[in-house]
Amino acid sequence: MLQFLIRRVIQVMPILVGISLITFALIHMMPRNIVDSMVPPGSPPSLRAEIAQIDGLDKPLWEQYLLWLHQVLHGNFGVSLVSGRPIGDALFSALLNSLQITFFAALVGFLLGILFGALAAVKKGRWQDSLFSLFFIAGISVPPFWFAILLVAIFAFDLNWVPAQGMGPEGWPLHWEQWRHMILPIATLSLIPMGVVGRIVRAATLEALSQEFVTALVAKGMRMDVIREHVVRNTAPQVLAVMGLQFGYLISGSILVDLVFNWPGTGKLLNQAILSGDIPVIQAAVLLLSVIFVLVNLGVDTAQAIIDPRMRR
């Protein structure tokens, strides 16, 4: 097991380096030169040169990359071009806000997906199967930003049950007013994981149920809960892998939904940065979210290997 973990961590290293390279390259692939966006239009070349020198932008690219990487590894993401404040603080508080809804959306989506998927598989070919399969297709096909708008129009505007915007008062633990703000974003974000997980649970359960050992167990007269445990153990690794991917997507995929609900998460941060051309913020957000995505997947791989020793190749 330890060997497996070490090998996976070593495999992840070049990927992390690759991510950092691409993210670094973002700045230099922008149509507008970064120095141009830092100085007022029409500035004399001497000012440009001075600014470039202060930020090390006159050095060769590889030196800039190493300098940037060094800073990032020490938790310094640079300063925003718009606000002039350190990016790190804003980014981490936005990340916490995002995780707050992502976590519950994943929880709701996964639980419903597992429940509906298992029910659909057990009732294969009956109306329950058709109904839940329809749910899943709808879940993966609905544009989240549109669904979010509909929810706001119906539940916040027409019925006035829940607030339409923002995340309400601060504070921990969460109290009712905060939950009221979270209901619609969670409902929107849980749809896709519900659909994706539901489909994979249904397919994996059907596959497990059709295996000979299950027939043998039934023939032996095993109790239902024993059979269920065998089926769950055989489907779990596959389902876990999908859940990990979905959780990673949720953290970054909330961008479209943040916009509609005005939720102060990473999506809103990223959106504002894109609109104002704040490249260092885009860079920092992309880097952080991608690294989290890789780490989540590493965690899932490890969990899979714990459940299923065959995965520890």
Which amino acid does the sequence have at 97? Answer: N
Binding mask 1-40 for another protein (x = CB under 8 A): -------------xx--xx--x---x--xxx---------
Per CB under 8 A, contacts with another protein among 257-296 are 259-260, 270-271, 274-275, 282, 286, 289-290, 293-294
Instruction: State the burial class of residue 162 (Cβ atoms within 10 Å of its Cβ: 0-12, 13-18, 19+).
Output: middle
Whichever of 227 and 292 has its CB closer to another protein, that residue is 292
226 near another protein, judged by CB under 8 A: no
141 near another protein, judged by CB under 8 A: yes
The span from the CA of 234 to the CA of 288, in Å, is: 34
Residue 53 beta carbon to another protein: minimum distance, rounded to whole angstroms = 25
Residues touching another protein, count (CB under 8 A): 44
**119-126: long-range pairs with CB below 8 Å, 24+:** 120/198, 120/202, 121/201, 121/202, 121/203, 121/205, 121/206, 121/209, 122/205, 124/206
Residues 6+ apart with CB under 8 A from 28: 34, 61
Residue bearing tokens 């929107």: 188
First to last CA, the chain: 10
256 near another protein, judged by CB under 8 A: yes
102 near another protein, judged by CB under 8 A: no
213 near another protein, judged by CB under 8 A: no
Positions in the binding site for another protein (CB under 8 A): 14-15, 18-19, 22, 26, 29-31, 137-138, 140-147, 149-150, 152-153, 157, 248-249, 251-253, 255-256, 259-260, 270-271, 274-275, 282, 286, 289-290, 293-294, 297
